[in-house]
Amino acid sequence: MHVINDWYARQVERVGSKAQAEVLLEAMAERARRWLHETLEGLALDDALVEVRSGGVVAEILAAAERCHADLLVMGGTGAGRHATPRLGSVTRAVLHAGHCPVLVVR
């Protein structure tokens, strides 16, 4: 799963239009889908579901976990923000606190 933070679309909509924001989100989603499929290619994960959403990142992750009745969430440990350090990222930290199933944090 990949969640596109809706902040990007809101910024485009502020200086452009809602239609331009939707085009941007769809382009970002297609790129994320391609990346996810390429990453999974060659792995023995024939039943893997690739899902790309946009919105609040933590809320979308938690909603997806609920939808598929996840037994375990696997997440990266460090954030992607400009202050990313070896410490736990803010999204992973929020999911750890709010999630309703175990979370495995990987490097």
- One digit per residue, pLDDT tens: the chain, 107 residues? 999 988 888 898 899 888 998 898 999 999 999 999 888 888 877 778 889 999 999 999 999 999 999 999 999 887 665 555 567 889 999 999 998 999 999 98
Q: Are residues 33 and 75 in the same domain?
A: no
Residue 86 has what pLDDT?
63
Whether 104 and 74 have beta carbons less than 8 Å apart is answered as yes
Q: Specify the residue for token string 């175990």.
A: 102
Q: Are residues 1 and 51 in the same domain?
A: yes
Is 97 among the domain residues?
A: yes
Q: Are residues 28 and 75 in the same domain?
A: no
Residue 49 has what pLDDT?
84
First to last CA, the chain: 17
Residues spanned by the domain of 78: 71-107
Whether 59 and 3 have beta carbons less than 8 Å apart is answered as no
Alpha carbon separation from 14 to 9, 41, 62 (Å, rounded): 9, 38, 28
Q: Are residues 13 and 50 in the same domain?
A: yes
Q: Are residues 7 and 51 in the same domain?
A: yes
Q: Are residues 81 and 48 in the same domain?
A: no
Residue 64 has what pLDDT?
95
In angstroms, rounded to a whole number, what is the distance separating the alpha carbons of residues 87 and 100? 22
Is 25 among the domain residues?
A: yes
